[in-house]
Structure 1
């Protein structure tokens, strides 16, 4: 009887984790470039009471056996990197990634971070930075520019002092792809970092080798689907209630046994 109480408890814990994941998805429904998480459940170890295929006589074996599970847990929270909708902003420093890839930013500790958030701006020195103030890698300076143009392949051209006849190349935005982007570590602030699971970064020009292209004046919205998450929320709530009911039933049966002693 105690085993059923523990199994029900693991169910409650797993559904609580799923609820936290769904809540985080819904909270970030308006976050630029946000990618939703999906909890994946896995069953826990089994107690083998009778081994499948075990002998029942000299010439016969068990066709199945007796195996009792010990509950469930959330194995991983998988990051889903499907494309979000593209929204027009008409801001010359906004860029949306249409396809695979991440923009590179230089973090304060000197390492490289990766982001899908193309909400860019300028710092006091005229460097292009993300909304947290981290500069692009490689760094691009557009000080004194009166017009900025970002092409689909990431080339940044500027017009100085209104001289539209002689635009100057200020730099090149690069995109990075990974063999397994779901293996990236989410650092918050729309920043990801490379891990062993993600594989090595593959840097290059947008539009080449399977990388996406850049679209100036647009931003990629979150890929969270509100209707889908609300359905998941209801399903999680019902699963939580059923596990709670299993614990309550086991408690009543245990209480009945103790009353008879």
Structure 2
């Protein structure tokens, strides 16, 4: 039983170590545009059933509770929290924030589509709206040279006044994508996500329609990490790690005592 206790305590150390990594990543990205924090979820490992509930205890009676011994804990997964981050006004005409559900669509180097909440866009040398890493926004929007008065409506309509003209010209429309289960998107890094079987297929269309959030020009969405909550969670995780470590020390002392006195 004492050897089993060592194993259980070790699983506790492993689980808390992984949770600390999740917290560290959340805190590291506290200033990352559009970042969504993760939450660690745990589950029990298999139980060893010594006496089954309801088994016969004698000729006329049954065990009411039985005897089952747990074998520890493991991390079941990480759940991404999709709550809205705070919006900060920047005044930059190419900064966009989504108020509500939805993701911007960008084209990867291999031609596939990735999704992001980070709306800190720029212009390429060809005048195409791109991410900081150079991936073009989809559908692709190109701003002609010399265009002024760039405006992006809440529905994603992009307009600008072209050289030699007095009235704004519509240049295209930014479409956003929403998912049945956005937490099922796979994180790629660089603020990008990709579609999976768990997320469901992307439902694309104009911003502000069919459950997709509206766009706000000249603003950026911050991360939804609450530093105070993460620090409290970090302290709790540290204490849980220490308790499991003490369990290993206590079990080791019990084994030493048994070896010396048997």
Q: Same fold (TM over 0.5)?
A: yes
Question: Partners of 1:44 and 1:52 in 2: how far apart?
Answer: 19
Structure 2 distance, partners of 1:62, 1:136, is: 65
Stretches of 4+ aligned residues off by more than 6 angstroms: none
Partner of 2:167: 166
Give the 5 Å matches for 1:1-261: 1-144=2-145, 145-161=147-163, 163=165, 165-261=166-262
1:57 deviation in Å?
A: 2.5
Report the Cα distance in structure 2 between the residues aligned to 1:162 and 1:156, rounded to whole angstroms: 19
Compute the RMSD of aligned alpha carbons. Answer: 0.9
- Normalising by structure 2, report the TM-score: 0.97
Equivalent position SS for 1:82: coil
Shift of residue 74 of structure 1? 0.9
TM-score scaled by length of structure 1: 0.98
Farther off after superposition, 220-229 or 154-163: 154-163
Distance 1:246 1:16 in 2: 16
SS at match of 1:227: helix
Give SS of 1:209's match: coil
**Structure 2 runs not aligned, ≥5 long:** none
Q: CA 1:258–1:162 in 2, change beyond 3 Å: closer, same or farther?
A: farther
Once residues 58 and 13 of structure 1 are traced to their aligned partners in structure 2, the CA distance between those partners, rounded to angstroms, is: 45
Number of residue equivalences: 260
Output the CA distance in 1 between the equivalents of 2:259 and 2:112: 62
Q: 1:162 Cα deviation (Å)?
A: 6.4
